[in-house]
Amino acid sequence: MTNDNDVLLIERKENISTLTINRPDKRNSLTPEVLMLMHQELTEYAKGDDVRAVIIRGIGDVAFSSGYDIRAIPTKANPELEERMRGQNPLELAQESIVNYPYPVIAMLNGYAFGGGCELAISCDIRIGADDIRMGMPPARLGLIYSVNGLMRFIRVVGWARTKEIFFTGRYYDAERVKELGMVDYILPRSELQHFTYELANEIAGNSPLSLKGTKRILNMIAKQSLNEQDQKEANKLIGESFASDDLKEGQMAFLQKRQAVFKGK
């Protein structure tokens, strides 16, 4: 049961559940609370077979999600943070819950999706967007090295070459280009977005639960890739260094001050 003041609105109708990020004043930016609630809800659904399609969206018509709240990004790689990075933070937990949810999860992109919001959408099985959306990944503009798991998600969805372009440029792409890049599956006039999304969700939810669960499980098994222990340690070290860097601090300040960042590579 939710109310309008909750940061995550939950609506169940027959075999479909809609999870709506409800932070309109913050352009639906992601916080640990939002992400943990999403993780908990999906984990609870996964215990049964009642919810056979999930739709994730943002409140309003402006943003699906503007990304992880930049003010919440830590700038010091203390031991506790490093331990969290070796495990799973709230964003990772939410994304893994989406990927491993036994039934299909649909991102209804009712507005722009940047950073963590973009990756949240990429984690979904199907992405449907309005024809005025924008998407992009800005880590290179902020002085961050993105996580191994995050990069692998993009590679699985859009391929190596397009992942390189998305992360090397840090560009924000319009609807036509995100469709070309494979970041979304459907682009529709805004007036048709909701109807199309729920029609598709109903079609999916009406199919065999056994087939849906089995197919998603096997597809996840096929897609799974892993690094060896040495590679993972090196990647974690690089990520930890980026969190402690002057470049991250400069990227944060430039973002907040709406100016061009001046990075020094350290």
- Here the tokens at position 233 are 């340690």
Q: Does a structural domain hold residue 227?
A: no
Whole-angstrom distance, CA of residue 38 vs CA of residue 94: 6
Residue indicated by tokens 């700038």: 75
Q: Does a structural domain hold residue 118?
A: yes
**pLDDT score of 266:** 82
Q: Does a structural domain hold residue 255?
A: no
**pLDDT score of 263:** 84
**pLDDT score of 183:** 98
Q: Does a structural domain hold residue 223?
A: no
Q: Is 212 helix (H, G, I), strand (E, B) or coil?
A: helix
Please check whether residue 65 is in contact with residue 28, taking contact to mean a CB–CB distance below 8 angstroms. Answer: yes
Q: Is 200 helix (H, G, I), strand (E, B) or coil?
A: helix
User: Cα 10 to chain center, whole Å?
Assistant: 18
Q: Does a structural domain hold residue 233?
A: no
Low-confidence residues of the chain, pLDDT below 70? 1-5, 70, 72-88, 225-227
Q: Does a structural domain hold residue 175?
A: yes
- CATH code (residue 25): 3.90.226.10
Q: Residue 152: how many CA atoms within 13 Å on its side-chain side?
A: 15
**pLDDT score of 77:** 47
- Here the tokens at position 54 are 């999930």
Q: Does a structural domain hold residue 191?
A: yes
Backbone angle region of 108, left / alpha / beta, with phi > 0 → left and psi within -120 to 50 → alpha: beta
Q: Does a structural domain hold residue 121?
A: yes
Looking at residue 45, the DSSP 8-state letter turns out to be H
The range of the structural domain enclosing residue 185 comes to: 8-205
Q: Indicate if the alpha-carbon torsion angle 29, 34, 39, 41 is positive or negative.
A: negative
- Here the tokens at position 206 are 């009406």
What is the number of domains present in the chain? 1
**pLDDT score of 236:** 84
State which amino acid sits at residue 259: R
- Here the tokens at position 114 are 């940047």
**pLDDT score of 81:** 45
User: Cα 188 to chain center, whole Å?
Assistant: 20
